Amino acid sequence: MLTSGPAKKVAIYVAEDQQYHGSAAYAAVLDFLFFRGVSGATVTRGIAGFGADHHMHTTRLVDVATRLPVKIEFIESPEKVQELLPKLQSMVGSGLIEMHDTTIVKPAENKKEQAAMIGKPALKREGKAKLMRIYVGENDKWNGKPLYEAIVGGLRAHDIAGVTVYRGILGYGANRRIHKDAALSLSHDRPILLSIVDTEEKLRGFMPILDEMVQQGLVVLSDVDVIKYSHNYEAKERRQETRA
């Protein structure tokens, strides 16, 4: 696990079609880093470049598009980097490895380790809430944008706890017309379901907004029992009290 302090930043450059034991070299390097416990790595694909052979590679040239440069970048402790370098050099072949000193100001948080550090079992909260389900069509619009996207934006702006959008594969509504997900169908008006859970007060407070946005659809409110697990319940409650 990375900690604050001195570290090494390593960048590895290979060609997209470069191979290592039958696999793409960049994928093999990424797998190696993953299974050797490196804290994290990122692969990016260039759109143009040239290397030691001084041949230009660019997406504009179809015949050499697969020779585009790929960069694998990671940050680790100096000791870990020195341990990995010999194998990386053999894997990269004609590629380039760059390394320089850096400083970790704040290491990334590992959720599993963070939960273990708390040293307490997960806290369980139970209570009553309302489940709101909104049924609309995929083609429904509001102010020029898909209605379901506009509803999600409105829910977020009104501090609703969360929403999940589902796209149906088959259904019909009040007009009795079948809506289906078919690859060759000219109609893409598939059924859309938005599922929201929050307090009754907050959901009913959002209803006037829905009245303006939904011209044809269905809104259902149901009672639900909420069971929530949290490792950092106390800290979260303190943040909520501060905002209040």
**What CATH class is the domain 5-104?**
alpha beta
Query: What pLDDT, in 10s, does the model give residues 39-48?
Result: 889 999 887 6
Q: Label residue 243 by pLDDT band (50, 70, 90).
A: very low
Torsion of CA 71, 77, 79, 83, to 10 degrees: -30
Query: What pLDDT, in 10s, does the model give residues 158-205?
Result: 889 889 999 887 766 555 565 555 554 445 668 899 999 999 999 999
Mean pLDDT value across residues 89-93: 92
How is the chain split into domains, by residue range?
Answer: 5-104, 123-243
Q: Label residue 133 by pLDDT band (50, 70, 90).
A: very high
The mean of the pLDDT values for the chain is 80
The backbone region for 5, taken as left when phi is positive above 0, alpha when psi lies in -120 to 50, beta otherwise, is left
In 3D space, the residue among 31, 49, 50, 51 whose CA is nearest the CA of residue 41 turns out to be 31
In 3D space, the residue among 175, 103, 182, 185 whose CA is nearest the CA of residue 140 turns out to be 175
pLDDT of residue 137: 87
| Residue of higher predicted confidence among 123 and 54 | 123
Does the predicted TM-score (pTM) go above 0.75?
no
User: Read out DSSP for 147-174?
Assistant: HHHHHHHHHHHTT-S-EEEEE-SEEE-T
Mean pLDDT value across residues 25-30: 91
| Residue of higher predicted confidence among 180 and 212 | 212
Share of the chain above pLDDT 90, in %: 40
CATH of 123-243, one of 1.10.1370.40, 3.30.70.120, 3.40.50.150, 3.90.110.10: 3.30.70.120
Q: Label residue 99 by pLDDT band (50, 70, 90).
A: very high
Mean pLDDT value across residues 145-157: 90
Same fold, 5-104 and 123-243: yes
